[in-house]
Structure 1
Amino acid sequence: MTTQAGHPFGLEPGSAMGVSGWTRLTQEDFNVFGKVTRDEDPMHTDPDWCAAHGPFPTTISFGFFTLSLLTGFSHQASPWPEGAYAINYGFDRIRFLAPVPVNSRVRGHFTFLGAEARSDGGFLTRMEVTVEIEGVDKPALVAEWLGLVYPPDAQIR
């Protein structure tokens, strides 16, 4: 993707956008996510089951829970343009590379990959996102995240 002049981030492709703060993922987080998504898999929600039967000795984060943290991480890490509005557009690539054990701390790293101007006044943006697990060499996930960013003067109709 090539960068178009005037896009709201003002960054060149490959530029680091920032790193979020650390967030601890608790058993309560896993339980609430499982309840809300109607997926109360014991690998994520039952520490006793994990200790006795699970593939991991403790509960681990749902991959989609870890993925859902990206928006909050991006607000901490990225230089959001003043007055602009961003809408999720999707992902071209998501990989869950390492399990995130309960009580781990994670954070997001963001790299700007580019932006394309759209006919509606917005921009299709791409960011590379890596979620790091504190003290673990392999990341929890890597993704190429697509967003629609509208400058303050764009009118979406």
Structure 2
Amino acid sequence: MSTVFSNAASLEAAVGHSLGVTDWLLIEQDRIDQFADATGDHQWIHVDPVRAKEGPFGATVAHGYLTLSLVNYFLPQLMTVENLAMGVNYGCDRIRFPAPVVVGSRIRGSGEVTGVESLANGAVQVVVRVTIEIEGSDRPACVVDTISRYTFA
């Protein structure tokens, strides 16, 4: 269930607090293949199940950047910001890929607001650390500090 924020003060009050976890998402070969087509990255560890079976992971694995891109899928499940004139993705910091996502794995996102900074015109810059967990794994697939800017109406 998404945590709802309606103003800058509610975001500031959330610093250091968990946003919970999302639903699980199954990573299937079709999604990996579509990402390979979209990016031109057709490395065999991603798109050749026969060869990848004999490779270092025992199966194909999702691209790290595919895993990172799914932060955009998970964030709305973690948080909603209302009463906005505008919200923009400002970037990311500290991106890491500690463990591969093997095809057939289920992943989910968890989040924590780690910082809120006031900007001009009443806008705020919010840093949310998103950790993409792999079901049954002690190590996450991805940890990233997302940076968003919100201007309230």
Return the alpha-carbon distance in structure 1 between the equivalents of residues 8 and 82 of structure 2: 14
2:51 corresponds to:
49
Q: Which region of structure 1 is more displaced relative to structure 2, 119-128 or 23-32?
A: 119-128
SS at match of 2:81: coil
**Counterpart selection for 2:26 from 24, 27, 40:** 24
TM-score (structure 1 length as normaliser): 0.86
Displacement of 1:66 in angstroms is: 0.4
In the TM superposition, what are the counterparts of 1:1-157 in structure 2 within 5 Å? 6-7=8-9, 9=11, 11-52=13-54, 54-78=55-79, 80-84=80-84, 85-151=86-152, 153=153
**Paired residues of 2:97 and 2:143 also in contact (CA < 8 A):** yes
Q: Whole-Å Cα distance in 2 between the matches of residues 142 and 41 of structure 1?
A: 23
Q: Which has the higher strand share?
A: 2
Q: Tell me by how many angstroms 1:20 deviates.
A: 1.1
Is the deviation greater in 14-23 or in 94-103? 14-23
CA contact (8 A) 1:113 1:127 kept: yes
SS at match of 1:48: helix
Q: 1:67 to 1:131 in 2, by over 3 A?
A: same
Contact 2:8 2:124 in 1 (8 A): no
The answer on whether the counterparts of 2:12 and 2:115 sit within 8 Å (CA) in structure 1 is: no
Question: C-alpha distance in 2, partners of 1:46/1:29?
Answer: 14
Given the two structures, how large is their TM-score scaled by the length of structure 2? 0.88
Structure 1: distance between partners of 2:34 and 2:13 = 37
Q: Which runs of 5+ in 1 are unaligned?
A: none
Runs of 4+ in 1 over 3 A off after TM superposition: 5-8
Deviation at 1:91, TM superposition (A): 1.4
Query: CA–CA distance in 2 between the matches of 1:99 and 1:15?
Result: 27
| Contact 2:21-2:109 at 8 Å conserved across structures | yes
CA shift digits 1:98-136 (9 cap, x unpaired): 011001000000101121111143211111111000011
